[in-house]
């Protein structure tokens, strides 16, 4: 008898857009995936990546049982054997060498999985190691630092009110492809077109004429790594021309005079030779932005992952504040989600911290109890007290996603012990001694803890599992919980009391979310007659609930002392001196550049619209067709090196070299090349058949762990100096 068909509604968890999907199923067979037209946020939009939900779930390379690496290869083991051995080895190493000898690395898929996020936090507390790392420091750390220093909480990141703005200035971002990174905005292309249709203006500043720049009113090329200078010049123009107008913000901001003094030297004339943007262009851009009734500036990966990422994110906030566009309709606004991480306090979300301690080898600062991942390899490779000897990774692939991937590989090979909570044997997990695979995303429920905090509209949705958990399988949070129990069994000093253990078992991730919603500002509390939100009420609406547009909320929502904004935090102001030392500000300084350095080009990354990091490269439908891992280079730069379309070039940096196909394109700024991230599947020992057949090269075999934002330690993946030549005959 044939199984009956049914339709399931949920949120796609593959990127930040959190689009609603409609999945038609017969038994365990997925028949179709399309956009949910009744989802109040995405309204039927769906990008091609959503088909990856089916591909990942059905992938024959996805692990279903724990694996142990042996001298003769991988073998399946029972959950009890794997979990007990992992806990025993971790505890033994910590007893012999100290708690910090075991490090952890969490990849960004953790943020797309609320239960793993909550369960992982519980595990890290039980591990008691201060050596914590994550994908944050190869991505959005400058956003968090700026939010922490200005607004008092690392998650108080304002998002563009894109649906009501009249002037959208995007610096180093490509939302048409990313679907709005740190700006959760499904169908962002339509939203941008709507902006222009209502008479608004879209301006993109980027070393590449991106997909977003193609639909913009204006695109400006900017030299990689010089964005802070452009922003300082815009601020200088605001003050010089008397255009500073914070409006309603004036009553609770401090430090305007200090900012005025600091930006004075950075005139558009002084920065033009470094940025490549003519002084009058900067002046007119500033005037247009300041005179718009509703404007917002937003910067993403291009400005975050560079030498001055934290400065860029701070200066973007200053531009919005000093023109009165923070906390204003059509400007940069804050969300009020159903599960309010900012309002619920330390029980659910950390406010943040900065520079409480530093790494052992290079002395890089912590942020939010994590060290910059650019320091991970050296902390493993450098002998001495406090050396990392074991590593736990969860949903992360640092060999491909962090700087100097070859050094990371070398470090992983040296570890005494490694365990990965991951569904694949990939470039990183192949080094593990044990791999503990969780259930697939469609076998779990789903609730977005983080992306509702960053959404351009207040909405909420809870998705039930599509498929039942297979017999003997474990969810991510169950793996973490069982490791916590076994760590306590091997180390009684870490074993919680019976009451705490009972509470921990009762307070599952789902119950934590239910509690957070009930106690939130939109929640029902404990009143059974309240009309406020509860998880059960949300779950009863499979398409989700619309909670309305973003609303002004300052100064009440600030987490700073006295609910005031200090525009000039000391760490950021002090970092301006590093900028002045590092970058030639004078317009005449270009004449002093050593001619021997003229063969240097600057490397930037890019995201492919059909793939998402390395997650979907094992899906045939996403890697078929034209080669996607190519190097974009301006035709004049290619010709100067004797390169034409399809030639193979050798790209060399301080850390290594790769051979890659050449794709000349006038969308690139002169002196800049672009290689997409997430590729490099040529490593041996993986079980990713399709990805290995479309290997590409890893841009992070060229990036440099010493090339960082020195203020916060974030990796500078953009602006890396490279030399390019035709590949020698072999």
> Which domain CATH number covers 28?
2.20.25.90
Cβ-proximal residues to 144 (8 Å cutoff; 6+ apart), any chain: 136, 154, 155, 157, 352, 367, 368
Closest by CA to 446, choosing from 111, 23, 197, is 111
What is the structure's pLDDT at 730? 60
In a domain, 544, yes or no: no
Do 309 and 168 sit in the same domain of this protein?
yes
Q: What is the pLDDT of residues 656-689, one digit of tens each?
A: 999 999 999 999 999 999 999 999 999 999 999 9
Q: What is the pLDDT of residues 637-650, one digit of tens each?
A: 999 999 999 999 99
Cβ neighbours around 278 below 10 Å, total: 13
SS3 of 469-498: the string is CCCCCCCHHHHHHHHHHHHHHHCHHHCCCH
By percentage, how much of the chain surpasses pLDDT 70? 96
What is the structure's pLDDT at 2? 66
Cβ-proximal residues to 325 (8 Å cutoff; 6+ apart), any chain: 294, 295, 296, 297, 331, 332
Across 194-199, average pLDDT: 97
Across 317-332, average pLDDT: 98
Do 176 and 75 sit in the same domain of this protein?
no
Closest by CA to 303, choosing from 178, 192, 140, is 140
By percentage, how much of the chain surpasses pLDDT 90? 89
Q: Which of 312-321, 373-382, 595-604 has the lowest mean pLDDT?
A: 595-604
Q: What is the DSSP letter of 364?
A: P
Structure tokens at 591: 């004449």
What is the structure's pLDDT at 607? 87
Q: What is the pLDDT of residues 696-719, one digit of tens each?
A: 999 999 999 999 999 999 999 999
SS3 content of the chain, % helix, strand, coil (to 5): 35, 20, 45
Do 300 and 181 sit in the same domain of this protein?
yes
In a domain, 54, yes or no: yes
In a domain, 528, yes or no: no
Q: What CATH number has the domain bearing residue 645?
A: 2.40.40.20
Going by pLDDT thresholds of 50, 70 and 90, the confidence category of residue 729 is low
Do 302 and 434 sit in the same domain of this protein?
no
Q: Which of 62-76, 245-259, 516-530, 532-546 has the lowest mean pLDDT?
A: 516-530
In a domain, 499, yes or no: no
Closest by CA to 697, choosing from 725, 656, 659, 662, is 659
Give me the domain span that covers residue 34: 5-58
Q: What is the pLDDT of residues 280-300, one digit of tens each?
A: 999 999 999 999 999 999 999
Going by pLDDT thresholds of 50, 70 and 90, the confidence category of residue 92 is very high
How does 500-526 read in b/e, with b if 16+ C-beta sit within 10 Å? eeeeeeeebbbebbbbbbbbbebbbee
User: Does the pLDDT of residue 594 top 70, yes or no?
Assistant: no
**Which residues does residue 417 pair with via DSSP β-bridges, in sequence order?**
390
Do 355 and 323 sit in the same domain of this protein?
no
Across 34-51, average pLDDT: 94
Do 363 and 436 sit in the same domain of this protein?
yes
Cα(517)–Cα(338) distance, integer angstroms: 6
Going by pLDDT thresholds of 50, 70 and 90, the confidence category of residue 631 is very high
What is the structure's pLDDT at 344? 76
In a domain, 583, yes or no: no
What is the structure's pLDDT at 585? 39
Across 342-365, average pLDDT: 85
Helical ranges in 417-569 per DSSP H: 476-490, 498-506, 509-519, 535-539
Q: What CATH number has the domain bearing residue 375?
A: 3.40.50.740
Q: What CATH number has the domain bearing residue 330?
A: 3.40.228.10
- Counted domains in the chain: 4
User: Does the pLDDT of residue 345 top 70, yes or no?
Assistant: no
In a domain, 389, yes or no: yes
**Listed residues 464, 492, 520: the one ending a domain:** 492
**Listed residues 37, 58, 79: the one ending a domain:** 58
Q: What is the pLDDT of residues 411-435, one digit of tens each?
A: 999 999 999 999 999 999 999 999 9
**Listed residues 19, 36, 58: the one ending a domain:** 58
Across 305-314, average pLDDT: 98
Whole-prediction pTM value? 0.96
Do 106 and 249 sit in the same domain of this protein?
no
What is the structure's pLDDT at 372? 98
Going by pLDDT thresholds of 50, 70 and 90, the confidence category of residue 346 is very low
Do 216 and 255 sit in the same domain of this protein?
yes
Looking at per-residue pLDDT, the higher value among 496 and 317 belongs to: 317
Across 230-239, average pLDDT: 98
What is the structure's pLDDT at 497? 85
User: Does the pLDDT of residue 499 top 90, yes or no?
Assistant: no
In this structure, are residues 200 and 190 in contact, taking their beta carbons and an 8 Å threshold? no
Q: Is the dihedral of CA 547, 11, 338, 192 positive or negative?
A: negative
**Which residues does residue 184 pair with via DSSP β-bridges, in sequence order?**
455
Across 605-633, average pLDDT: 88
Q: Which of 295-309, 392-406, 488-502, 639-653 has the lowest mean pLDDT?
A: 488-502
User: Does the pLDDT of residue 156 top 80, yes or no?
Assistant: yes
Do 163 and 308 sit in the same domain of this protein?
yes
In a domain, 543, yes or no: no
What is the structure's pLDDT at 1? 47
CB-based burial label for 657 (10 Å; 0-12, 13-18, 19+)? middle
Do 306 and 391 sit in the same domain of this protein?
no
Do 357 and 472 sit in the same domain of this protein?
yes
What is the structure's pLDDT at 337? 96
- Mean pLDDT across the chain, nearest whole number? 94
In a domain, 425, yes or no: yes
Do 95 and 208 sit in the same domain of this protein?
no
Across 203-228, average pLDDT: 98
Cα(422)–Cα(396) distance, integer angstroms: 8
Cα(263)–Cα(280) distance, integer angstroms: 17
User: Does the pLDDT of residue 347 top 70, yes or no?
Assistant: no
């Amino acid at each position: 008898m044939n199984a009956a068909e049914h339709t399931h509604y949920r949120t796609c968890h593959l990127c930040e857009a959190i689009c609603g999907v409609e999945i038609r199923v017969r038994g365990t067979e997925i028949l179709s995936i399309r956009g949910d037209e009744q989802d109040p946020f995405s309204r039927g939009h769906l990008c091609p990546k959503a088909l990856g939900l089916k591909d990942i779930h059905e992938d024959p390379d996805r692990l279903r049982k724990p694996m142990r690496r042996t001298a003769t290869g991988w073998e399946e083991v029972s959950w009890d054997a794997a979990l007990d051995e992992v806990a025993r080895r971790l505890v033994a190493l910590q007893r012999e060498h100290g708690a910090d000898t075991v490090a952890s690395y969490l990849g960004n898929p953790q943020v797309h999985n609320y239960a793993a996020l909550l369960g992982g936090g519980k595990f890290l507390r039980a591990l008691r190691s201060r050596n914590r790392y994550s994908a944050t420091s190869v991505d959005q750390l400058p956003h968090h630092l700026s939010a922490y220093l200005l607004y008092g909480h690392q998650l108080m990141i304002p998002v563009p009110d894109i649906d009501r703005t009249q002037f959208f200035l995007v610096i180093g971002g490509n939302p048409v492809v990313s679907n709005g990174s740190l700006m959760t905005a499904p169908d962002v292309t339509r939203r941008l077109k709507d902006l222009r249709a209502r008479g608004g203006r879209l301006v993109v500043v980027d070393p590449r004429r991106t997909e977003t720049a193609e639909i913009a009113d204006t695109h400006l090329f900017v030299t990689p790594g010089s964005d802070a200078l452009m922003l300082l010049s815009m601020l200088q123009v605001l003050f010089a021309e008397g255009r500073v107008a914070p409006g309603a913000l004036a009553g609770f901001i401090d430090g305007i005079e200090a900012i005025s003094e600091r930006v004075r030297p950075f005139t558009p004339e002084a920065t033009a030779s470094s940025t490549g943007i003519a002084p009058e262009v900067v002046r007119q851009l500033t005037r247009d932005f300041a005179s718009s009734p509703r404007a917002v500036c937003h910067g993403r990966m291009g400005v975050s992952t560079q030498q001055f990422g934290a400065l860029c994110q701070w200066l973007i906030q200053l531009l919005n504040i000093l023109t009165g566009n923070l906390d204003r309709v059509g400007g940069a606004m804050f969300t009020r989600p159903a599960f309010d991480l900012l309002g619920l306090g330390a029980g659910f979300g950390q406010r943040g911290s900065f520079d409480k301690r530093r790494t052992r080898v290079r002395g890089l600062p912590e942020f939010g109890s994590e060290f910059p991942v650019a320091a991970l390899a050296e902390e493993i490779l450098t002998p001495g007290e406090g050396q990392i000897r074991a590593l736990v990774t969860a949903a992360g692939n640092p060999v491909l996603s962090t700087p100097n991937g070859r050094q990371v590989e070398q470090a992983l090979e040296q570890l005494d012990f490694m365990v990965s909570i991951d569904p694949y044997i990939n470039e990183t997990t192949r080094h593990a001694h044990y791999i503990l695979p969780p259930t697939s995303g469609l076998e779990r429920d789903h609730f977005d803890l983080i992306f509702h905090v960053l959404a351009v509209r207040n909405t909420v949705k809870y998705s039930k599992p599509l498929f039942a958990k297979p017999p003997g399988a474990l969810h991510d949070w169950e793996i973490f919980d069982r490791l916590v129990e076994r760590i306590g069994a091997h180390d009684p000093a870490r074993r919680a009391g019976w009451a705490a253990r009972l509470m921990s078992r009762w307070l599952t991730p789902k119950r934590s979310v239910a509690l957070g919603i009930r106690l939130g500002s939109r929640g029902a509390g404990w009143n059974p007659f309240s009309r406020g939100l509860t998880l059960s009420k949300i779950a009863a609406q499979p398409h989700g609930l619309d909670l309305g547009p973003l609303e002004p909320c300052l100064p009440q929502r600030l987490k700073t002392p006295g609910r005031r904004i200090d525009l000039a935090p000391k760490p950021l102001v002090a970092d301006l001196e590093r900028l002045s030392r590092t970058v030639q500000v004078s317009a005449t300084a270009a004449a002093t550049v050593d001619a021997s350095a003229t063969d240097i080009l600057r490397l930037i990354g890019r995201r492919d619209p059909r793939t998402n990091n390395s997650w979907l490269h094992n899906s045939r439908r996403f890697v078929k067709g034209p080669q996607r891992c190519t190097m974009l280079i301006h035709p004049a730069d290619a010709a100067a090196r004797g390169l034409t379309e399809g030639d193979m070039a050798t790209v060399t940096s301080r850390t290594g070299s790769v051979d890659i196909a050449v794709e000349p394109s006038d969308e690139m700024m002169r002196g800049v090349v672009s290689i997409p991230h997430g590729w490099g599947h040529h490593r041996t020992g993986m079980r990713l058949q399709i990805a290995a057949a479309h290997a590409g090269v890893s841009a992070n075999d060229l990036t440099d762990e010493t090339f960082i934002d020195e203020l916060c330690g974030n990796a500078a993946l953009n602006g890396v100096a490279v030399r390019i030549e035709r590949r020698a005959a072999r």
